[in-house]
């Protein structure tokens, strides 16, 4: 079974400061890792993914994430936060299964609050 842990329900950061949203995972085999963002009353929007290759992945809106295999982590980062980044962020994992539709397993989500 695969699982995702987002240890913080809420992260508060001042505008202009760097931000980190934490994610750890558990999966058998090589992981596919994703970050999604959800704004109020909307569905989830894709931010970035790690499949293979460089451990630092760059995505939409200036976000990036670092894959750390030894720590089974995939933390989301941004060098300078904007008030508009305030939203609910989800980390998700899937294991490579050789093909076929796979269900992603999501964490509980972390509310990111950027203070002006």
Partner 1 sequence: ETGVTQTPRHLVMGMTNKKSLKCEQHLGHNAMYWYKQSAKKPLELMFVYNFKEQTENNSVPSRFSPECPNSSHLFLHLHTLQPEDSALYLCASSPMTAIYGYTFGSGTRLTVV
| Residues at the site binding partner 1, with contacts judged by CB under 8 A | 4, 9, 32, 34, 36, 41-46, 49, 51, 90, 94, 96-97, 99-109
Of residues 84 and 102, the one with the C-beta less far from partner 1: 102
As a three-state string, the secondary structure of 2-21 is CEEECCCCEEEEECCCCEEE
- Rounded to a whole number of angstroms, the minimum distance from the CB of residue 29 to partner 1 is 13
Evaluate whether 116 touches 54 at the Cβ level (below 8 Å): no
- Rounded to a whole number of angstroms, the minimum distance from the CB of residue 102 to partner 1 is 4
Q: Which residues pair with 80 in a beta bridge?
A: none
């Amino acid at each position: 079974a695969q699982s995702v842990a987002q240890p913080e329900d809420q992260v508060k950061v001042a505008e202009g400061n760097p931000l980190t949203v934490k994610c750890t995972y558990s999966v058998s085999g090589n992981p596919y890792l994703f970050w999604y963002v959800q704004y109020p009353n909307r569905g989830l929007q894709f931010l970035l993914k790690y499949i293979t290759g460089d451990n630092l992945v760059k995505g939409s809106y200036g976000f990036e994430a670092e894959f750390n295999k030894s720590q089974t982590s995939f933390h989301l980062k941004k060098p300078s936060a904007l008030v508009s980044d305030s939203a609910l962020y989800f980390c998700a994992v899937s294991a490579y299964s050789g093909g076929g539709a796979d269900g992603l397993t999501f964490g509980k989500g972390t509310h990111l609050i950027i203070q002006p």
